[in-house]
C-alpha cells in the first residue's frame, strides 16, 4: 500500500457539511492502489464506550494521473461525528485515523478524526438561483448605445471638477434597450464590468463610488435597467473595485494636496512622502497601487474608516438598487477581515446575493463559506485551451485537470464556480483556437455542460476575435451576418443547459478519458436521468453506443443529424434513464 499518497484533511473540502443532514467525506489514494475504502462513523458524544460505529463503503468518484479520489455523502443522524477509514489493497487492511496507519483502533474517541459540530453557519453554500444561471458579461463601453447599435465614438463627460472618458459609446440605456436580445439568446443574468464614475474607459480607476459614470448614464438609468431586467427574470451583477481607486478619488486628492497632514493618509498602502503623480507611466509610484499602474493607488481596506466607507457603498447599491450580485476585482489582494465584513453586510440585506471573487488561481482559501460564494474559474479556460485549442493535452491528462477543478472545493461550491472562456482581461478564445470553429464549439459545449455557472463574454456568440486589448474589447458586432451560425449554436446549447436538471444540478463522472486520445466523454447524473457528453477532438468516428451502452437514449444536441455516430471534431449530448 502506498501510504505516502493517502490524504484526508478534516474540516476542509475532504470533510464538510452540504447541509445540516448530509456530510461529505473524501479520501485520496494512489491511483489503482486501494481495492476498497470504508468510512466508519459514530456520535462523538456517544453515551457509551467504546463509541458505536456504523460503516459506509466509499467509491472512486474522480481520478487524475496520480490519485484516486474516494467519496461518500453521508446522511448522518449525528451533528457531532468521529470517524476513521479502513483501507484494503487486496493483501492487507489498515485503519487510518489521526493521520496514522494502524492495525488496531484506539480506546479514546478523541484519537479518531473529528467533525466537531456540523453547524449551519459554517456550511459553504451558494444562492439558490445560481445553478440555473447562464451569465452574460458586458463591457459597458463596448456593448450598445441603443437597441442593436453601438456608436463606436469616443466621448467625454464632466463630473464635478473631473472629466471622464469613453472609447466606444456604450451606455446603460443601450444595455436596457437590448434586454430582448438577452432573452432571445437565452441568458438570465448580466454581469457588467465597472460602471461607477472613473477616468478611463475601462472604469477600473474609480473616482466616485456612489454615482454612475456620466458617459454611461445616471443613477436613475441604472435603477431603470435593474428594474427592467428583473421584470424579465434577469439578474444583475456589478463590479466592485475595492482593492484600489483612481488617483482622482477624493481621499487620494487630499493626500496629494496636504501630504502627511491629510486625514486620509492611512487610507492607502505604502505612501512615501511627498506623494506625487509620476509623469512617466514607466516610473514606479511613491505609493502602492494595482500592479504598477500609477493611476490606481491601493486602498488600505484594513483601516476602519476605509472599511466603513466601502461597506456603506456595498449597502447603497445592494439595498437601494436591488442588485443580485457583486464581482470583486483583484479579490485575492484584499484582506480577509474586510471580505468577511463585506459578506455579512451583503447577506444581511439579501441572502441570495451572489458574491464572486476575481481569483485567477485556486480560490479555496476564500471559498470556505465566510467570504465568497464563487470565484472566476480561469483554470477552466486554461484547461480548455490546452485540450481543445492547442492539443497540449490528451484526454487522460485533461481529465486530471478536470478532477483538480472539482475536488479542490467543497461539493456545493464546485457547482457555483464562474466558468469562463473569455473576459475583458484575456485574448478571445476563438482567436486562441486560430478561428477554428470546431475547436471553439467543443470548448463551449464543455463550458455549458460542466459543473458550475457558464459565463458568455459579449460577442462570443457572434464570433468576435482579438488578441490585443483593443481587439478583444472591440465594439459589439450588431449588424454582422458572419456570426449567425455560431449565434444559433449558442442559443441551442444555452437552451439545453437551462432546460436539463442533469446539467444544472447533476453529479459529474468521467466515462472515457484515455491516454493518447482526443476523445473525452463524461456524464452528469441527477435523480433518474443521466446526460452523456461526447467530445471528439480527433479524426476518429465514435459510435455513441460505445460511450453510453446499448440502452435507449435520446439525442439532446449533436453535430451529426442522426445522432448515432460522433464524427471527427464533432459532439453529441444524449440522455437516458439511470
114 and 44 in contact (C-beta within 8 Å)?
A: yes
DSSP β-bridge partners for residue 531? 524, 575
- Helix or strand (DSSP H, E) at 528: none
Of 86, 141, 288, 329, which one is the catalytic site residue? 329
**Residue for grid cell 443547459:** 497
- Tell the burial category of 481 from Cβ atoms under 10 Å away from its Cβ (0-12, 13-18, 19+): exposed
Chain centre distance of CA 449 = 14
DSSP string over 314-363: HHIIIIIS---EEEETTGGGS-HHHHHHHHHHHHHH-TT-EEEE--SS--
CA distance 353 to 129: 10
Q: How far apart are CA 15 and CA 19, in angstroms?
A: 12
Residues 417 and 405 sit within 8 Å (Cβ to Cβ): yes
* Cα–Cα nearest to 76, from 51, 41, 52: 41
Q: Of 358, 379, 399, 530, which residue is the catalytic one?
A: 358
Cβ atoms of 195 and 212 closer than 8 Å: yes
Buried b vs exposed e over 388-415: b needs ≥16 C-beta within 10 Å? bbeeebbbbbbbbbbbebbbbbbbbbbb
DSSP string, 155-216: EEEEETTEEEEESS---HHHHHHTHHHHHHHT--EEEES--EEESSTT--SEEEEEEE-TTT
425 is catalytic: no
Q: What are the grid coordinates assigned to 140, written together?
A: 459597458
Catalytic residue status for 529: no
**Spatial contact of 24 and 15, defined as CB atoms under 8 Å apart:** yes
Q: How far apart are CA 390 and CA 388, in angstroms?
A: 6
Return the DSSP state at 386. Answer: I
Q: Coil, strand, or helix at residue 93?
A: strand
**What is the spatial distance between Cα 373 and Cα 80, in angstroms, rounded to a whole number?**
25
- Catalytic residue ranges: 329, 358
Amino acid at each position: 500500500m502506498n501510504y505516502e499518497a493517502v490524504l484526508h484533511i478534516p474540516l476542509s473540502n475532504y470533510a464538510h457539511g452540504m447541509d445540516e443532514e448530509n456530510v461529505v467525506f473524501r479520501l485520496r489514494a494512489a491511483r489503482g492502489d486501494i481495492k476498497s475504502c470504508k468510512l466508519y462513523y459514530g456520535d462523538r458524544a456517544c453515551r457509551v464506550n467504546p463509541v458505536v460505529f456504523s460503516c459506509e463503503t466509499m467509491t472512486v468518484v474522480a481520478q487524475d494521473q496520480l490519485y484516486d479520489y474516494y467519496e461518500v455523502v453521508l446522511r448522518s443522524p449525528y451533528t457531532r461525528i468521529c470517524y476513521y477509514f479502513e483501507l484494503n489493497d487486496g493483501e492487507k487492511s489498515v485503519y487510518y485515523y489521526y493521520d496514522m496507519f494502524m492495525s488496531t483502533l484506539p480506546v479514546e474517541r478523541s484519537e479518531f478524526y473529528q467533525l466537531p459540530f456540523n453547524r449551519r453557519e459554517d456550511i459553504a453554500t451558494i444562492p439558490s438561483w445560481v445553478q440555473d444561471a447562464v451569465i452574460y458579461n458586458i463591457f459597458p463601453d463596448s456593448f450598445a448605445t441603443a437597441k442593436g447599435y453601438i456608436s463606436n465614438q469616443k466621448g467625454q463627460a464632466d463630473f464635478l471638477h473631473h472629466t471622464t472618458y469613453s472609447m466606444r459609446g456604450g451606455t446603460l440605456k443601450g444595455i436596457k434597450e437590448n434586454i430582448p436580445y438577452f432573452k432571445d439568446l437565452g441568458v438570465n443574468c448580466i454581469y457588467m464590468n465597472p460602471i461607477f464614475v472613473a477616468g478611463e474607459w475601462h472604469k477600473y480607476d474609480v473616482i466616485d463610488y456612489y454615482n454612475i459614470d456620466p458617459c454611461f448614464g445616471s443613477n436613475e438609468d441604472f435603477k431603470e435597467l435593474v428594474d427592467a431586467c428583473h421584470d424579465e427574470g434577469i439578474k444583475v451583477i456589478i463590479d466592485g473595485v475595492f482593492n484600489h481607486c483612481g488617483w482622482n478619488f477624493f481621499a487620494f486628492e487630499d493626500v496629494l494636496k496636504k501630504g502627511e497632514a491629510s486625514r486620509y493618509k492611512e487610507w492607502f498602502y505604502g505612501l512615501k512622502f511627498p506623494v506625487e503623480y509620476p509623469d512617466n507611466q514607466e516610473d514606479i509610484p511613491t505609493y502602492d497601487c494595482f500592479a504598477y499602474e500609477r493611476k490606481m493607488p491601493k486602498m488600505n481596506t484594513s483601516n476602519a474608516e476605509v472599511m466603513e466607507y466601502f461597506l456603506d457603498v456595498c449597502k447603497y447599491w445592494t439595498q437601494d438598487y436591488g442588485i443580485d450580485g457583486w464581482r470583486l476585482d483583484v479579490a485575492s489582494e484584499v484582506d480577509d477581515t474586510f471580505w468577511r465584513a463585506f459578506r455579512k453586510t451583503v447577506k444581511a440585506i439579501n441572502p441570495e446575493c451572489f458574491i464572486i471573487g476575481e481569483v485567477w488561481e485556486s480560490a479555496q482559501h476564500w471559498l470556505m463559506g465566510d467570504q465568497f460564494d464563487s470565484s472566476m474559474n480561469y483554470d477552466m479556460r486554461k484547461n480548455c485551451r490546452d485540450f481543445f485549442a492547442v492539443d497540449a493535452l490528451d484526454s487522460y491528462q485533461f481529465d486530471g485537470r478536470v478532477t483538480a477543478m472539482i475536488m479542490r472545493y467543497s461539493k456545493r461550491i464546485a457547482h457555483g464556480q464562474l466558468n469562463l472562456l473569455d473576459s475583458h482581461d484575456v485574448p478571445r478564445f476563438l482567436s486562441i483556437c486560430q478561428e477554428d470553429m470546431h475547436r471553439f464549439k467543443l470548448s463551449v459545449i464543455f463550458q455549458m455542460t460542466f459543473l458550475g455557472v457558464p459565463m458568455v463574454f459579449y460577442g462570443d456568440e457572434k464570433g468576435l476575435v482579438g488578441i490585443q486589448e483593443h481587439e478583444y474589447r472591440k465594439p459589439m458586432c450588431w449588424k454582422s451576418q458572419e456570426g449567425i451560425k455560431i449565434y444559433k449554436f449558442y442559443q441551442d446549447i444555452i437552451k439545453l443547459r437551462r432546460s436539463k436538471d442533469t446539467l444544472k444540478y447533476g453529479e459529474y463522472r468521467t466515462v472515457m478519458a484515455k491516454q493518447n486520445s482526443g476523445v473525452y466523454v463524461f456524464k452528469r447524473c441527477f435523480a433518474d436521468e443521466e446526460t452523456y457528453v461526447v467530445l471528439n477532438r480527433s479524426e476518429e468516428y465514435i459510435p455513441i453506443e460505445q460511450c453510453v451502452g446499448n440502452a435507449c437514449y435520446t439525442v439532446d444536441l449533436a453535430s451529426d443529424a442522426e445522432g448515432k455516430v460522433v464524427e471527427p471534431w464533432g459532439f453529441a449530448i444524449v440522455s437516458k434513464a439511470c
